[in-house]
Structure 1
Amino acid sequence: MTLFLAKMTASITASTVYLCCVFIVLFSVYADSQDTDAQLCQMCQGTVRQDSPVWDFCLTKGYIRGRCCFRNNTSNVDTIIGLDLANCSISHVEHLYNSSTAFIIDLSDNPVSNLSDFIFQGFNHLTQLLLPSKLECPGGNASWEKVEVKNNARVCEGQKNICNQTAQMPWDCPENSFCSPYGPGFFECSCLQNFHGYKCMREGEFPIAKVLGILTGSTVVVSSLLWFTQRRKAKNT
């Protein structure tokens, strides 16, 4: 058994180990995401305030749970489409968990002194953002159709597609790819159909079956190694 496992271990290539690690990381992220909605929606006491624009938005678009508005759907996946964290005594914001699907976010009336644009990276659907009046809109005013200070809040409305402003883009997407918006002031390059890999240089369909086969095999190998290690420890004790 020891010799067999040793041969199996030696046959694992560097790419296989890498893909296995990626699989484990992705699985861990998925498992952790089950609790992040609860953390975000209960970050502040109570539910969505009736004087928040999130309340008006949610009346016709979804349902309220805590400080979040979720989309009405028949699937088992909860999708946040609105978030009201106004007047929550929040002084620092590092991330907003799984709210990148939100259309409206209210962070006004909080003692936030600084807010990184990267917090909203990937927030493609965000159309209205309310911030403390002393803060600037993420991506700058050029990333929004309308910016105004109203009721001690800075209101950023109508996120612009930066891909339509080629003159302001710091670089172009490589050949065989196209520009996609990726949050206020951000964009990403996505491969055209039938292209994949580094800088979209590989032509043909992505070998998903092969990759899944490698991941499955790697998982079996790692599980076997862990089982064998535990057995040896149990015998030694």
Structure 2
Amino acid sequence: MKMKAGRSQLKPVLLFVIFNLCFYASYQLTDLKVCELCSGTILNGTTVGQFCSSSAGRIDGRCCLRNSNTSDYEHIIGLDLSNCSLTHVEELQGASTALMIDLSLNPIANISGTAFQGFIELNYMILPQDIVCPGGNTSWEKVEVKEGNRLCEGQKDTCNQTGQLSINCPENSLCAPYGPGFFECSCAENYHGYKCLREGEFPALQVFGPLGASMVVISLLLWVTQRRKAKSL
């Protein structure tokens, strides 16, 4: 479970600016490293390759990227790490926007319980047949073993499984899915703070003002660095 302040408490314009600065800086620093966890590239005939082609995506190493003209970064929508000699899966957060992930043909001994936390878009996974689907079978609409692989299809909304959206969240909060078997609680309108016990407007400027200034500096430094690298080529 994850707790966060209600979005309605933050100044919309300030939140938008800070979010984009933070995400852009973070994304640039990761530099799509998850796409280079394994040598080679996605093949057209593979499951992820076919998905990428049908989605009009662009292949970059082991990733399928969604081309977008509306942002400065590209979302990973597919990740193919099949046959990469992986024994453990612990950190794939660079691909948290993926809709499809293939981890088949790997001697995986275990997968971290939080490896797919935040993967709210993930809808299809291919795993070695002896590896359990993230979050367990109850976190997926369909689970089957086929041709030596375990297929996990249709991630379920953890909050809706009981039919009571806030059953696992504190009073004055709402539940939202946060990856297979995970959920997060956000404060309802006019509530914020620890366990959403404080009522009133969230002090967004005081809390996020210094952070926003820091992200501006980081973004400028990244931009200057990239410009210098471009000139040196």
**In which range does the TM-score fall when normalised by the shorter chain?**
0.7 to 0.9
Name the residue aligned to 2:162: 166
Runs of at least 5 residues in structure 1 that lack an aligned partner in the other structure: 1-26, 220-237
Equivalence map 1:177-196=2 (5 Å)? 177-196=173-192
Name the residue aligned to 2:51: 57
In the alignment, the residues of structure 2 paired with residue 158 and residue 123 of structure 1 have an alpha-carbon distance, to the nearest angstrom, of 13
Asked if the contact 2:81/2:104 (under 8 Å) is kept, the reply is yes
In the alignment, the residues of structure 1 paired with residue 170 and residue 118 of structure 2 have an alpha-carbon distance, to the nearest angstrom, of 20
In the alignment, the residues of structure 1 paired with residue 86 and residue 212 of structure 2 have an alpha-carbon distance, to the nearest angstrom, of 43
Deviations 1:148-196 (A, max 9, x none): 1122110000011111122899x62111111111111111111112321
1:29 Cα deviation after fit: 9.3
Q: Helix, strand or coil: the match of 1:95? A: coil
Name the residue aligned to 2:104: 108
In the alignment, the residues of structure 2 paired with residue 177 and residue 36 of structure 1 have an alpha-carbon distance, to the nearest angstrom, of 32
Deviations 1:104-158 (A, max 9, x none): 0000000101112310111111000111111111111111111111221100000
Asked if the contact 1:116/1:138 (under 8 Å) is kept, the reply is no
Runs of at least 5 residues in structure 2 that lack an aligned partner in the other structure: 1-20, 216-233
Q: Helix, strand or coil: the match of 1:109? A: coil
1:39 Cα deviation after fit: 2.0
In the alignment, the residues of structure 2 paired with residue 132 and residue 218 of structure 1 have an alpha-carbon distance, to the nearest angstrom, of 43
Q: Helix, strand or coil: the match of 2:96? A: helix
Percent identity, please: 57
Asked if the contact 1:101/1:125 (under 8 Å) is kept, the reply is yes
Equivalent of residue 88 in structure 2, options 61, 86, 92: 92
1:72 Cα deviation after fit: 1.8
Does 1:66 find its partner at 2:61? yes
Residues 216 and 152 of structure 1: CA distance in aligned 2, closer, same or farther (over 3 Å)? closer
In the alignment, the residues of structure 2 paired with residue 168 and residue 116 of structure 1 have an alpha-carbon distance, to the nearest angstrom, of 28
Q: Helix, strand or coil: the match of 1:120? A: coil
TM-score (norm 1): 0.73
Name the residue aligned to 1:44: 38
1:30 Cα deviation after fit: 6.9
Does 1:176 find its partner at 2:172? yes
Q: Helix, strand or coil: the match of 1:83? A: strand
Q: Which amino acid aligns with 1:66?
A: G
Name the residue aligned to 1:21: none
Deviations 1:20-64 (A, max 9, x none): xxxxxxx99975642434321111122112232111111132211
Residues 213 and 36 of structure 1: CA distance in aligned 2, closer, same or farther (over 3 Å)? closer
1:210 Cα deviation after fit: 2.1
TM-score (norm 2): 0.74
Residues 63 and 195 of structure 1: CA distance in aligned 2, closer, same or farther (over 3 Å)? same
Q: Which amino acid aligns with 1:156?
A: C
Name the residue aligned to 1:122: 118
Superposed CA RMSD: 2.8
Asked if the contact 2:81/2:102 (under 8 Å) is kept, the reply is yes
In the alignment, the residues of structure 1 paired with residue 146 and residue 160 of structure 2 have an alpha-carbon distance, to the nearest angstrom, of 28
Residues 198 and 28 of structure 1: CA distance in aligned 2, closer, same or farther (over 3 Å)? same
Larger Rg: 1
Q: Helix, strand or coil: the match of 2:115? A: helix
